[in-house]
Structure 1
Amino acid sequence: MLGQERTVLPLLADQVFHLNAYTAGMTYILAFGVAKAATNYLAGTWSDRYGRKPVLVAGWLVALPVPLLLIWAPSWWWVIVANVLLGVSQGLTWSTTVIMKIDLVGPERRGFAMGLNEAAGYGAVAATALATGYLAAEHGLRPEPFYLGIAFAALGLGLSTIFVHETRGHADAEARAHKAKDDGSDAHLHAELSQREVFAQTSLREPALSAACQAGMVNNLNDGLAWGLFPLLFASAGLSVGRIGVLAAIYPAVWGLGQLGTGALSDRIGRKSLIVGGMLTQAGALGIVAASDSFGPWAMGAVLLGAGTAMVYPTLLAVIGDVAHPAWRARSVGIYRLWRDGGFAVGAVLSGVVADLWGVRASVWTVAALTAVSGALVFARMYETHRRPGPVSPAPR
């Protein structure tokens, strides 16, 4: 559902709706990011209250109108409404799949499970970005590329309704079996917390959780930049829609496939080094994209950007699973994803404004610098969370 937009929507904004300002063209990413971030927050709470499966199915119901709105849109506002619905759908469905996989696996396999989840998602993003680029080159920007979305929504709803089983009982069992440390040093992570307390621990107070939140936000900030501005940068160099589709697919393809290895690797070597290295790799990749003007270097930048993101994406989720107590872990995942996907909205505004003032390349350089700073903050603030089974206590302050 997300991949159908990666190649086509930036070109629709430019060629069909004639949005000359970059900031105006990025409004659909802003709408998507705000809607998804807010829904992520609610999805964790609702998953604890009503169960995982009802939230998952509800997310797919919300997705059904999205491709139809994109096909029929007579104005840009229809595209914005479609992306609000897509953001709500993604917040409900993807948050729930993350929570369910954390429910189903123990701490020793948590990184691997997150890698499988994210690889499935972003592998599909890449394949669909490539397919829609081909369809757009052969048949035009609308409606053929969005026919895929109709099939995806129907499949997602059908599979979720028929085959997916409720997993909340696994988390309840883990919570009953979970023991705090004898010295009580991690009692604040094991007590039953209110929603406000969970928000404070995840966002600010707990070093590993809060470091993960800011890194996740910056990661999706640069993904929002890649989604909204990379196709326009590539088009400005005279690349065809088909070649733009290839470049739009390389980044999520490497990201998706790479997570099959990086999630499991974080279970072996720990989380922190992969996150720091991944953020710095992303920063370097963005620098290559900003400094280049042809297909080959851009493809190399896309490969490195995907590799860096693969190092970070499942590992950050594994950090949340390591530290948060099972009793409030679903809520913590939702709050982390609130901050992470808020990066789409921040990226849309920041990169659009900078691009309007100083050009697309200046926007890419700006986000590259922010990504490097984020990696440095993780290095300074996050402790290693994967040292033994179960949540770990914070490092001495």
Structure 2
Amino acid sequence: MTATGTALRLGLRANIAQFTLLVAVNALVGGLLGTERTVLPLLGEQEFDLSAYTAALTYILAFGATKAAVNFVAGTLSDRFGRKPVLIAGWLFALPVPLMLIWAPSWGWVIAANVLLGVNQGLAWSTTVIMKIDLVGPHRRGLAMGLNEAAGYLAVATTAMATGALATEFGLRPAPFLLGAAYIAVGLGLSLFFVQETRGHARHEATLDGAVDSGHSGSLSTWRIAGLVSWREPALSSASQVGMVNNLNDGLAWGLFPLLFAAAGLSLPQIGVLVALYPAIWGLGQVLTGPLSDHIGRKPLIVSGMLTQAVALGLVATADTFPAWAAATVLLGAGTAMVYPTLLATIGDVAHPSWRARAVGVYRLWRDGGFAAGAVFAGVIADLTSIRGATWAVAALTAASGLLAARRMYETRPGG
């Protein structure tokens, strides 16, 4: 029973108001991330004179390592204290970020701001994922994750394009980051005054018939869950390795693609369009791929999505014109859309409601560790060879990840 005496109900229709509100909140979380996508790589090169790629990617390393660790903590905190307090804490950590980026006198300030941004994204994005899974129940997880991730990454895309336009008109600072400050104010207000706690829905689902997963139901320690998600359980650990490689790709695209495009002589508005195309297709595509995974299964989309990304990265490495790069980034976004909500749905399929939030946290630890791994891997190879050489290396790794999932993963869709 809720505080008002109404019985808890699972399902998208039964919880449409809260679900829609959480979609909006996650769009704001994604929008804050999007304020950096176009501007920061160019800021590092033009205002802080960072010539080495490994040095330029330190902010992504800081962001990814922090977000990965906080994802792990977010799941445990959500189980212990509830979802809403963790969401609010995420917004509070974001408050200094735009001001630090606007006033940064050195690259160290940018790195510090991205540590706080990593905390924000780890707490806030993780919690909106968990809350939506709580609300919709077992049968519409793919749709729920598709809508959640679509909102976040469409906001990344539109904000990346908007900040490119703002930077063209007003300069790299402060205008693009003022947009992020507005996102934080609205997101914190909605989370404080309108978002409702959903932990009770997960507890309710755990009492229903059929809420028993593949042999791992009941109370488990956090370290036991970490072992299952990291290496012991084939579907969960496959999702973790695919997620990590997927975000390694994103770290490459975020940190190095704008520099590749700029070196080819593209204008700032053109770079903004290319930077936005990838997350835009990624975001829009998830509206289709999330529910599609509820019908055809998770594994086919995960495997084909990684192989599609590998092909797209190869095209990025060979292209040298705006139309060719646009086609490649559209294909990269489509491949990512196949994978992203489907991996989260897989975690929701296998993990029991009593430890699902912690399983999501461990999965997101590995997935967002890909940002940090990508910053190091792509940066070192780019310094040794070139950005194109790093892109080829990541393409090969992406193909290997998809083939490994094809061999090791089993289908997890309920009734599949």
State the TM-score, normalized to the length of structure 2.
0.91
1:370 aligns with 2:378: no
Equivalent residues in 2 for 1:1-397 (5 A)?
1-179=32-210, 186-187=214-215, 189-388=216-415
Count, aligned residues: 385
The CA distance in 1 between the partners of 2:361 and 2:256, in whole Å, is: 28
Moved more, 25-34 or 138-147: 138-147
1:270-321: CA deviation from partner (whole Å, max 9, x where unpaired): 0000000100000000000000111011000100000000000000000000
CA distance, structure 2, for counterparts of residue 65 and residue 380 of structure 1:
45
Shift of 1:127: 0.3
Q: Is the 8 A contact 2:229 2:236 kept in 1?
A: yes
Gaps of at least 5 residues in structure 1 are 390-397
The answer on whether the counterparts of 1:180 and 1:186 sit within 8 Å (CA) in structure 2 is no
Query: Take 2:250 and 2:374, find their aligned partners in 1: how far apart are those partners?
Result: 8
Task: Render the CA deviation track for 1:163-199: whole Å, top value 9, x for unaligned.
Answer: 1000000000111224477xxx943x11311111101
- Kept after mapping to 1: 8 A contact 2:211/2:353: no
Further displaced range: 191-200 or 366-375: 191-200
- One-letter code aligned to 1:151: A
CA distance in 2, matches of 1:147, 1:379: 44
- Could you state the TM-score of these two structures normalised by the residue count of structure 1? 0.96
Please give the per-residue CA displacement for 1:80-117, whole angstroms capped at 9, x wherever unaligned.
00000000000000000000000001221000000000
Residue type at the aligned position of 1:152: Y
Q: Name the CA distance, whole Å, in 2 between partners of 1:388 and 1:60.
A: 38
1:27-61 CA deviation, whole Å, 9 max, x = no partner?
Answer: 00000000000000000000000000000000001
Distance 2:414 2:279 in 1: 30
| CA distances 1:213-243 after superposition (whole Å, capped 9, x unpaired) | 0000000000000000000000000011111
Give distance in 2, aligned partners of 1:179 and 1:294.
54
Counterparts of 1:210 and 1:32, CA distance in 2: 23
Once the two structures are overlaid, the 10-residue window that deviates more, 91-100 or 170-179, is: 170-179
Contact 1:51 1:166 in 2 (8 A): yes
Shift of the 123–186 alpha-carbon distance from structure 1 to 2, 3 Å rule, reads closer
Q: Hey, what's the Cα distance between the residues in 1 that align with 2:226 and 2:350?
A: 14
SS in 2 for 1:245: helix
Aligned to 2:8: none
Give unmatched runs, 5+ long, in structure 2.
Answer: 1-31
- Give me the whole-angstrom Cα distance separating, in 2, the residues matched to 1:170 and 1:265: 25
Distance 1:145 1:366 in 2: 32
SS at match of 2:370: helix
- Partners of 2:299 and 2:120 lie apart in 1 by 31
- Indicate the SS of the match to 1:190: coil
SS in 1 for 2:153: helix
How large is the RMSD of aligned CA atoms in angstroms?
1.1
- Structure 1: which 4+ aligned runs deviate by more than 4 Å? 178-181
1:323–1:385 Cα contact (<8 Å) kept = yes
Helix, strand or coil at the partner of 1:348: helix
Residue pair 2:39, 2:164 contacting (<8 A) in 1 also: yes
- Opposite residue 413 of structure 2, the aligned amino acid is H
Alpha-carbon distance in 2 for matches of 1:240, 1:228: 17
The 1-side partners of 2:42 and 2:157 are apart by 17
Report deviation, 1:138. Answer: 1.1
For residues 64-95 of structure 1, the C-alpha deviation after alignment (integer angstroms, 9 at most, x for no partner) is: 11010000000000000000000000000000
Q: Which amino acid aligns with 2:168?
A: A
What is the distance in 1 between the residues matched to 2:286 and 2:214?
A: 30
Equivalent residues of 2:206, 2:354 under 8 A apart: yes
Distance 2:48 2:400 in 1: 36
What SS does the corresponding residue of 1:107 show, helix, strand or coil? Answer: coil
Amino acid at match of 1:48: D
Distance 2:54 2:211 in 1: 49
Distance in 2, Cα, partners of 1:51 & 1:119: 25
Matches of 1:179 and 1:11, distance apart in 2: 52
